[in-house]
Chains A and B, each alone.
Chain A
Amino acid sequence: MRQTFPTEIIDRVRNGDSCAFAAVVDSFRTSVYNLCYRMLNGNSGDAEDAVQEVFVKVWRNIDKYDERRTFSTWVLSIATNHCIDQIRKRRLPTVEIDETMEEVIPDRIPSPKRIVAEREQAEQVRILLDGLSEVDRAIIILRYWDDLSDREIGSAVGLSEAAVKSRLFRARKQLVGFYRQAQEQAVMEAA
């Protein structure tokens, strides 16, 4: 992502301009929603609640924003920490991915075959991510969906760059392990 957000909008938000805040919400709602959705086991209701709470925190803490940091990283760090807190507070039950699939932005009208394939892929991604710890999951999401660097991820999750590299390596290795388990299980079920 690494977009530079206009500082004048941030200043306006600091002065209590709700229109400027709406622009902030509009710019980051997909990133924040995607992060919350994937962190919170693909539950759209929880993700929506989390996004609202995240933006409330952004609004409340805008005065604490340090301009030396990237604004998007700061917003995502709030979202990440919020999701990690939520996961630690209540171990979320897994939900079926089907109920939220219509919320994925389609680039064209998909065929039924494509819908089934996408659902299967989405379910696979959810299973893979669910196996990771909260922090590792956040690191993977920030890397793959928000395209953050190791340093930016470290800034978002409160870790050093070296720790992020180490955790990223471990998380990727775990993902391969989960993928293998899922493949083996699929083969056993087919047999």
Chain B
Amino acid sequence: MMDGHEYFEELIFREDSLSEAERNELKAHLTLCAECVCFRDDWIAVNTLLTDAPAVSPAPGFVVLFENGRAVPAQRRNAAPWKGLAIFVIGLLLLIAANLALIANHVWLTLIVRATEKLMMARLIWDSITAFLYMIRLPLLIGGTAAIIAAFIVGFGILLSLRQYQQSHEKRGV
């Protein structure tokens, strides 16, 4: 939404291409409005600065620089199909490598899991044996002691019997 000043500012910007009616309208407004007169003066200064500023050209050395640099796009253009192919091959190789790495990782993890399961099983058996031995430790001690004593008595009895038999045999011989 343009206010009153903006309409005349727009006329000021295109003062060179105004119709006769617009020109008269602007002229009439400028006789009454000091603000727009000031705006017009400043715009003329800005416009002069812009229109008087020359187009800047590259330094003389730049032409040589660009002549050298001009080979770059040609090389890039020729290299473009190879670039695409190279990106595709590299991408494919990366994909295969990633898959192989995943498979190797899977195998390795499976082996670790299986080994862990075996160790856990061995641990369970060992714990069971330990618990069983702990339960029977007292009867085993008593039974063992009794067996040793019994073995000692039986052995002593056998030796004693053998000695008696030997003595009776010697008497008969004499």
Identify the A interface with B (CB < 8 A).
Answer: 16, 18, 21-22, 25, 29-31, 33-34, 37-38, 44, 47-48, 51-52, 55-56, 59-60, 100, 102-105, 121-122, 124-125, 128, 140, 144-145, 168-169, 172-173, 175-176, 179-180, 183
Whether a CB of chain A sits under 8 angstroms from the CB of B74 is: yes
Decide: B46 and A48 in contact? CB cutoff 8 A. no
Q: In whole angstroms, what is the CA distance A121 to B50 when docked?
A: 9
Decide: A121 and B52 in contact? CB cutoff 8 A. yes
- Total number of residue pairs linking A and B with CB closer than 8 Å: 103
Given the known interface contacts A21-B70, A172-B43, the answer about A31 and B55 at a Cβ–Cβ threshold of 8 Å is yes
Tell me the smallest distance from the CB of A162 to a CB of chain B, in Å. 14
7 more A-B residue pairs beyond the given contacts A33-B57, A60-B73, A176-B39, with a C-beta to C-beta distance below 8 A: A30-B56, A34-B56, A52-B69, A104-B56, A105-B55, A121-B52, A144-B51
Q: In whole angstroms, what is the CA distance A143 to B28 when docked?
A: 29
Task: Name which of B59-67, B120-128, B164-172 contacts chain A.
Answer: B59-67
Decide: B62 and A48 in contact? CB cutoff 8 A. yes
Q: In whole angstroms, what is the CA distance A168 to B54 when docked?
A: 20
Decide: A51 and B66 in contact? CB cutoff 8 A. yes
Whether a CB of chain A sits under 8 angstroms from the CB of B76 is: yes
A124 partner residues in chain B, CB cutoff 8 A: 49
B74 partner residues in chain A, CB cutoff 8 A: 16, 18, 59
Tell me the smallest distance from the CB of B10 to a CB of chain A, in Å. 6
Q: In whole angstroms, what is the CA distance A70 to B77 when docked?
A: 24
Q: Which of B64-110 contact A (CB under 8 A)?
A: 65-67, 69-70, 72-74, 76-77
B39 partner residues in chain A, CB cutoff 8 A: 176
Q: In whole angstroms, what is the CA distance A122 to B55 when docked?
A: 11
Whether a CB of chain A sits under 8 angstroms from the CB of B117 is: no
Q: In whole angstroms, what is the CA distance A47 to B69 when docked?
A: 14
Decide: A48 and B58 in contact? CB cutoff 8 A. yes
Decide: B58 and A103 in contact? CB cutoff 8 A. yes
B57 partner residues in chain A, CB cutoff 8 A: 29-30, 33-34, 103-105
